[in-house]
Amino acid sequence: MTRQNITVRSLHEMKSAGEKISVLTSYDAGFTRLIEEAGIEVLLVGDSLGMVVQGQESTLPVTLDEMVYHTRNVARARESALLVADMPFMSYRSPALALESAGRLMKEGGAQMVKLEGGSVQLETVRRLSSQGIPVCGHLGLLPQSVHKLGGYRVLGREQGDASRIREDARLLQEAGADLLVLECVPGQLAAQITRELSVPVIGIGAGAACDGQVLVLYDMLGMNPHPPRFVKNFLASGRTIQEALRAYVEAVKGGEFPAGEHSFK
């Protein structure tokens, strides 16, 4: 049965109805077809491809050309899920450059929304993109593109000052026009508070079960990362096929079974 296209409005309606949103990364047409069959709502072409596809140590080397290429591959196989593409490192260092980069991801890559990292420093950029009709997903908490500045991959928001800043940044991003927000590696209690305070959907990754939805890196949830983060669950375990693992992930997110306590932070 053909599924109705998922849109920004669809996601907002899901939040209002209390229906969980399932999100998964994808980087090529083959996996995208399987992910679509599993019933995912949002496909994210993440710059995580630098690590899981290219074998890089971080996301920083990924170029805009590479993001356009992988987004286009996913777009060819996309049927109904909303297609979001990461804006890679240094591709949005000014509002004007961000507009050009986002335009390429949408016109050449087929993206329907772009994602960028950062809070108050990105407000002018979010406003510029939103004013031009480009849907924007914000990203707060652990920011992989700032890994060297942060001193490594770690949980953010445990200190009161950090938590207050993340909450305020979330509010400001929404006011600037962001349509969606990803929270990565923040305490579950903080993520729950932000989810309640915002009208836009909040997607968690290592941010507890109270978020409006969950996202994982495809290769992580298939057990292909030899050193997975704590918030990851291997859905390919127990002798499942890839198709069964993808369906199990969607069902676990939508049923509220994932993430469990062991996949969250305090």
Q: In percent, how much of the chain has pLDDT > 90?
A: 89
pLDDT at residue 26, as a whole number? 98
Model pLDDT for residues 175-197, shown as the tens digit of each residue: 999 999 999 999 999 999 999 99
The structure's pTM equals 0.96
Inter-residue contact 28 to 70 (CB < 8 Å): yes
Residue 2 falls inside a structural domain: no
Tokens of 209: 């079960």
Give the bridge partners for 137, in sequence order: 115, 180
Residue 165 falls inside a structural domain: yes
Q: How confident is the model at residue 101 (pLDDT cuts 50, 70, 90)?
A: very high
Give the bridge partners for 204, in sequence order: 183, 214
Residue 181 falls inside a structural domain: yes
Computed over every residue of the chain, the mean pLDDT equals 95
Residue 171 falls inside a structural domain: yes
Model pLDDT for residues 1-52, shown as the tens digit of each residue: 568 999 999 999 999 999 999 999 999 999 999 999 999 999 999 999 999 9
Catalytic residues: 184
| Coil/strand/helix, residue 144 | helix
- The residue-averaged pLDDT of 82-91 equals 98
Residue 101 falls inside a structural domain: yes
Model pLDDT for residues 202-241, shown as the tens digit of each residue: 999 999 999 999 999 999 999 999 889 999 999 999 889 9
Q: Is 45 left (phi over 0), alpha (psi -120 to 50) or beta?
A: beta
Q: What stretch of H or E contains 64? A: helix 64-77
Other Cβ atoms within 10 Å of 10 Cβ, number: 18
Tokens of 156: 């953010």
pLDDT at residue 238, as a whole number? 82
Whether residue 163 is predicted with pLDDT greater than 70 in this model: the reply is yes
- The residue-averaged pLDDT of 61-68 equals 98
The whole domain housing 19 covers 8-263
Supply the CATH number for residue 150's domain: 3.20.20.60
d(CA 201, CA 75): 23
First to last CA, the chain: 41
Residue 115 falls inside a structural domain: yes
pLDDT at residue 144, as a whole number? 86
**Overall number of domains in the chain:** 1
Whether residue 257 is predicted with pLDDT greater than 90 in this model: the reply is yes
Residue 1 falls inside a structural domain: no
Model pLDDT for residues 110-157, shown as the tens digit of each residue: 999 999 999 999 999 999 999 999 999 999 999 988 776 666 667 888
